[in-house]
Structure 1
Amino acid sequence: MIPLSPRQNVARPPTASGHAPEKGLKRVLGVPSLVLLGLVYMVPLTIFSTYGIVVELTNGRLTDAYAVTLVVMLFTARSYGRMARVFPAAGSAYTYGARSFGAGLGFLTGWSLMLDYLLLPMINYLLIGIYLNAAFPAIPAWVFIVASIAVVTLLNILGITTVARANIAVVGLQGIFIVLFVAFAATSLSGGPSVDFLAPFAGVGKDLGISPIFAGSAILCLSYLGFDAVSTFAEEAKDPRRTIPRAIMLTTLVAGLLFLGLAYVSQLVLPVATFENVDSAALEVVGRVGGDLFVALFIAGYIAGSLGSALTSQASVSRIIFSMGRDGVLPTRVFGRLHARLGTPVIPILLTSAVSLLALVLDLATVSSLISFGALVAFSVVNLSVIKHFFIDRKERGAAATLNSLILPGVGFALTLWLWTSLTGQALILGVSWAAVGLAYLAVLTRGFRRPTPQLDLEGAGA
C-alpha cells in the first residue's frame, strides 16, 4: 500500500510569543506520539508496493537499495527538521521553497508535488487490480480498478472522509502481519538448509554494478512519502521547535530500519532476482513464508489498506485542487466551488478520478518512478532551502554553522540529485515535461511574470 498523504490543515504556527493561538488545539504530543503518527502515514507494508520491481532492477539487492535510500533520507529529514523549526506550518516543501526562494519557486515546487498527489490514488488502484487479479485470475484487473475508483469517488463526493480513520486500525493489523511474517520466516529458515546471511547484500548473478542499486533507490523514495507529515502536527506538539525536528529524524530512521529489516528477511527467505509476476512478487515471498492461508491474510489486509489510502489521498488532493481554485491558482469558477448541498469539491474529486483511470494503461514501474520524481524535487528544494535561509540569508558562519547550514544540506542535495539522475529515462522525460507545463502555466498566470505569483493557502485545504 502506498503511504498516506499528509494532513493539510492541522498545524498553525505559534504566535510570536511562542504560545499557541488562544483557540488552538492542546499541546499534548511528545516525540514518541509524533513518531507513531509519522509511521501511520508512511505505512509499514509499503515495501511490498514495488518489491518485485526493485528486486529485479537491482539483481536481488533490495536491502542495499533501501540502505542507500535511508542514508539519503536521513540527510533530507534533517533539513526538513531545520526548516520546520523556523516555519512550523502546513505546506512543507511548498512553504519552505516559497519562503526561501520566493513565490515562483514555491509554485513550481508545489506543481511538482501535485504530480505525486495526483498519482498517489492511482498507484493504490493499480495495486488493488494487481493483487485481486492474482487472487481471482478469471476477473480482469481493470474490473477491480474501475470498481475501486467508482467506490472511492462516490464516498468522497458524499463526504464520508471519516472512513480514512480506519487506516490506523489497518496499520495496526499490518503491524501484526509483520510480526507473524518475521516469526514464520525465522521458523522456515531454521528448519531448512544452512542460510547465507550475506546473500541479501551480495545479489544474484554476475556483472553486479552499483548503478542498479541507485536506480532502485530512486524508486524507493516513494516509500518515504509522508515522513514530513510530522511537521503538520506543530500546533498539537509540546515545544514544537524542539520535538518536531527530533520526531522527523526518528520517524525516518525507524521507518528506514523497518524497511531494511523486511527487505533483508524477504531476501533470506526467497533469494531470487526474477519472479513469475514482477508486480505481485510479494505474493511469492509471503507464500514461501506462510502458505496459502497467509497469502489470503496478506491480500485482505493489503487491499483494505489500499482502499483506505486511496480514499484519504483522493480526499487530500481534491481539496488541494479546490484550494488552488479558491486562491486563483486554477480557474475559480471551475475548481474553487463546493457542492451546494454536500459541501464537497465535486469537480476536483472527479478530476482526480479521471486521472486515476490512467491506471488502466500505465504500469506500476512507470507510476512509481513518476511519484519518486516529484518526491525528489521536493527533497532537493528543502535541502537547498536550508542553505539559502541559514547560510545565505542569515549569514550564519563558524565551523558549526558551516557544517549544519552548508555541508550537511549540501550533501543531502547532492545525494538526492544522484538519485534523481538514476530514475528511468521515461520518468525523467515525463517529470520534466510536467515541470515545463507548470512553468508555462505560471507564465500565463502572471502575464509573462509581470504580476505577483498567487500563493496557495494549504492551511485551509484539509480534508
Structure 2
Amino acid sequence: MNLWKNMNRKTDPDMYRIKDGHLVRSLKVKDILALGVGTIVSASIFTLPGEVAAKHTGPAVTISFLLAAIAACLVAFTYAEMSAAMPFAGSAYTWINIVLGEFWGWVAGWALLAEYFIALAFVGSGLSANLRALLAPLGIKMPAIFANAFGVDGGIVDLISLVSILIVAILISHGVGKAARVENALVALKVFAIILFVVVGATAVKFQNYVPFIPEYQKTAHGAFGGWQGIYAGVSMIFLSYIGFDSVAANSAEAIDPQKTMPRGIIGSLVIAVILFISVSLVLVGIMPYSKYANSAEPVGLALRYAGHGIIATVIQAIAVMGMFTALIGMSMAGSRLIYSFGRDGMLPKFLGKLDKHHRPNNAVAAITIAAILIGTIFSFSALSQLISAGTLIAFMFVSLSIYPLRSREGKDIADPAFKVPFYPVLPFLAFLASLIVFIGLDHQAKLYALLWFILGLVIYLFYGIRHSKAK
C-alpha cells in the first residue's frame, strides 16, 4: 500500500514554479516556431515521402501524411493547453507528475527520453551520411573507421556525427537565446530549399504518375502495399515526422509569456510542417513513378536529377545537410531539459538538475550529448528506428488523458490558461484514440523494444527514483 501511495503521489506545482523560475525566459513566438519547424521538418521531409510511397502507399502517400497530421494535431491541442497551464521544464514528464502522480510521470518521461537519445543519434548519423555523399564527387572520402558506427562496415566511430552533436552541445551550453538565433537562420534556409524544390519540381509533374492514386492492395515483403491497408502502414511510418512538437513544449520554462507563446508556437509550427510535408510528397510522386524511389535515401535529389535539374538537386542537398542542425538543436535542447527535470526531482542523480552560474542546465546538456554520441557512434541502431515513435506515442496517450484531471484544478493550484482544448471533453479522447491507433500500427519489433525500455525504466524507478524523489 505504501509503495502504491508513493507511486501516485503528486508533485506540488509550486515546487516547479520556484525551481524553474531560475531559468532565463528568452524565447519569443518566432523562436518557438523556428524550434518547432526545425525539429518537425527534419531530415525526414527529404527522405520519407519517397520511401513510404514505394513501400506502402504509391501516390496516396499524401493521404498518409494528412491522416498522420490529423492525429498529431489532436495531440498538439492538448500539449498547447498543458504548456500554457504549466510552463515548466520537462513537458509531459512534469505535467503528468503534477496531475496523475510520480510513477506515471516517470513512465511518460522515460518513454520520451528514448525518443531524444535515438533521434539525436539518427539525425547525427543522417547528417554524416549526406555530408559524405556531397564530398565524395570532390574526391574527399573519409576512412571507413571514421565513417561508420563501431562494427559496421569496418567502422570504429562516426566522426562527423560525433563532431556535429558536440558543436550543437557547445552552442546550447551558451544559452537558448544564442541557439535560437542560429536555429531561426537555419530554419529559414531550410524552408527556402523546400519551397525551391516544390516550385521547380511542380514544372516537371506528370499527372499519369498519380494514376491509380490508391493502388490495389497486396501483401509484400515490406508489409501492406496499396489500399487503405497500405495507407495505414504509411501513417505509422510517417508519424515519426510530426513528433517534434514535444521538443517545443519541453522549453516552455524558457518562453516569454508562455500563456500565448506556447500555444501559438506548438500549433503554428505543426500547421507549417503539415503544409510543407504534403506539398513535398505531392510533387515528389508526380515527378516520376513512385516505384523508382525504392531503396533511395535521397528521393528529392533523385527526382530533381530525373527531371534534369542536377545543380538544384546539389544545392538542396547541401542546404538539407545544414538544415539537419536545426533538428539536432531542437532535440538537444528538449532532451537536456527533460534530463534536468529528472535531476531536479531526484529521479536521477541530483547533479543533473543543477544550474550553472548563468542559470543554464549544462550538466544535463553534457549528459544527453554523451549518451547520443555513445549510441550514434558506437552502436548500430537501424532496428530501433520506430522506437522513436513508440516512446513518443506513449507520452502522447498520457498527456491526452491528463487533460481531464487538469481541468478540475485549473484556476486553483494550477493557472487557468488562456488557451484550452476545444470541443472538450471529446477532443482529448480522440487525441488518445488516434495515438493508440498509430501505436498499434507500429511493427512488433518496435513494441518489443518499447517494452524492454519500459522494464529498464521501471527498475531504475524502483531502485533509485522512488527512494530519492523530492515530491511533496
Q: Is the Cα contact below 8 Å between 1:100 and 1:385 reproduced in 2?
A: yes
Q: Is the Cα contact below 8 Å between 1:204 and 1:272 reproduced in 2?
A: no
Deviation readout 1:277-309 (Å, 9 max, x if unpaired) = 333333312323453212221221122222454
Is 1:184 aligned to 2:233, yes or no? no
- For 1:429, the equivalent position in structure 2 comes to 448
- For 2:100, the equivalent position in structure 1 comes to 101
Is 1:445 aligned to 2:444, yes or no? no
Query: Cα distance, 1:270 vs. partner?
Result: 2.4
- For 2:154, the equivalent position in structure 1 comes to none
- For 2:68, the equivalent position in structure 1 comes to 69
Structure 2 CA distance for aligned equivalents of residues 402 and 355 of structure 1: 37
Q: Is the Cα contact below 8 Å between 2:75 and 2:396 reproduced in 1?
A: yes
Relative distance call for 1:96 and 1:142 in structure 2 (3 A) is farther
Secondary structure of the 2:385 match is: helix
Structure 1 CA distance for aligned equivalents of residues 376 and 108 of structure 2: 22
Return the letter of the residue paired with 2:433.
A
Secondary structure of the 1:404 match is: coil
Structure 2 CA distance for aligned equivalents of residues 311 and 234 of structure 1: 17
Structure 2 CA distance for aligned equivalents of residues 153 and 246 of structure 1: 29
- For 2:159, the equivalent position in structure 1 comes to 147
Matches within 5 A, 1:154-303: 154-155=166-167, 161=173, 164=179, 165-189=181-205, 195-196=207-208, 198-199=210-211, 201-203=213-215, 208-231=226-249, 232-233=251-252, 236-237=255-256, 240-241=258-259, 244-275=262-293, 277-289=295-307, 291-303=309-321
Secondary structure of the 1:405 match is: coil
Relative distance call for 1:82 and 1:133 in structure 2 (3 A) is same
Please give the TM-score of this superposition, normalised by the length of structure 2. 0.75
Query: Cα distance, 1:79 vs. partner?
Result: 1.3
Q: Is the Cα contact below 8 Å between 1:111 and 1:435 reproduced in 2?
A: yes
- For 2:126, the equivalent position in structure 1 comes to 127
Query: Cα distance, 1:196 vs. partner?
Result: 4.0
Structure 1 CA distance for aligned equivalents of residues 386 and 453 of structure 2: 14
Return the letter of the residue paired with 1:116.
E
Relative distance call for 1:208 and 1:282 in structure 2 (3 A) is same
Structure 1 CA distance for aligned equivalents of residues 16 and 172 of structure 2: 31
Deviation readout 1:57-82 (Å, 9 max, x if unpaired) = 32323212101101111211111122
Query: Cα distance, 1:236 vs. partner?
Result: 4.8
Relative distance call for 1:35 and 1:328 in structure 2 (3 A) is closer
Structure 1 CA distance for aligned equivalents of residues 110 and 461 of structure 2: 10
Structure 1 CA distance for aligned equivalents of residues 197 and 451 of structure 2: 40
For structure 1, the residue ranges without an aligned partner over 5 or more in a row are 1-11, 395-400, 457-463
Give identity over the alignment, percent.
26
Equivalent residue in structure 1 for 2:41, among 43, 62, 69: 43
Structure 2 CA distance for aligned equivalents of residues 455 and 430 of structure 1: 30
- RMSD, matched Cα: 4.1
Secondary structure of the 1:50 match is: helix
Return the letter of the residue paired with 1:110.
G
Deviation readout 1:352-411 (Å, 9 max, x if unpaired) = 3112225x5232xx44311111111121111111133337999xxxxxx99833321111
Return the letter of the residue paired with 1:143.
F
Structure 1 CA distance for aligned equivalents of residues 298 and 309 of structure 2: 15
- For 1:362, the equivalent position in structure 2 comes to 381
- For 2:55, the equivalent position in structure 1 comes to 57
Q: Is the Cα contact below 8 Å between 1:200 and 1:267 reproduced in 2?
A: no
Structure 2 CA distance for aligned equivalents of residues 115 and 268 of structure 1: 36
Q: Is the Cα contact below 8 Å between 1:184 and 1:290 reproduced in 2?
A: no
For structure 2, the residue ranges without an aligned partner over 5 or more in a row are 1-13, 149-157, 219-224, 412-419
Structure 1 CA distance for aligned equivalents of residues 253 and 347 of structure 2: 26
- For 1:461, the equivalent position in structure 2 comes to none
Structure 2 CA distance for aligned equivalents of residues 160 and 24 of structure 1: 13
Q: Is the Cα contact below 8 Å between 1:81 and 1:249 reproduced in 2?
A: yes
Deviation readout 1:214-268 (Å, 9 max, x if unpaired) = 2222232222233245544577555x43564354333322321221111111111
Relative distance call for 1:88 and 1:276 in structure 2 (3 A) is closer
Q: Is the Cα contact below 8 Å between 2:75 and 2:431 reproduced in 1?
A: yes
Is 1:350 aligned to 2:353, yes or no? no
Structure 2 CA distance for aligned equivalents of residues 15 and 355 of structure 1: 34
Structure 2 CA distance for aligned equivalents of residues 393 and 323 of structure 1: 22
Query: Cα distance, 1:209 vs. partner?
Result: 3.2
Structure 1 CA distance for aligned equivalents of residues 362 and 217 of structure 2: 53
Query: Cα distance, 1:430 vs. partner?
Result: 0.5
- For 1:9, the equivalent position in structure 2 comes to none
Secondary structure of the 1:91 match is: coil
Q: Is the Cα contact below 8 Å between 2:86 and 2:95 reproduced in 1?
A: yes
Q: Is the Cα contact below 8 Å between 2:39 and 2:245 reproduced in 1?
A: yes
Relative distance call for 1:336 and 1:349 in structure 2 (3 A) is farther
Structure 2 CA distance for aligned equivalents of residues 84 and 339 of structure 1: 25
Query: Cα distance, 1:199 vs. partner?
Result: 4.1
Relative distance call for 1:221 and 1:205 in structure 2 (3 A) is closer
Structure 2 CA distance for aligned equivalents of residues 169 and 200 of structure 1: 40
Structure 2 CA distance for aligned equivalents of residues 131 and 22 of structure 1: 39
Matches within 5 A, 1:331-346: 331=349, 345=363, 346=366
Tell me whether 405-414 or 304-313 shows the greater mean CA deviation.
Answer: 304-313
Relative distance call for 1:293 and 1:200 in structure 2 (3 A) is farther
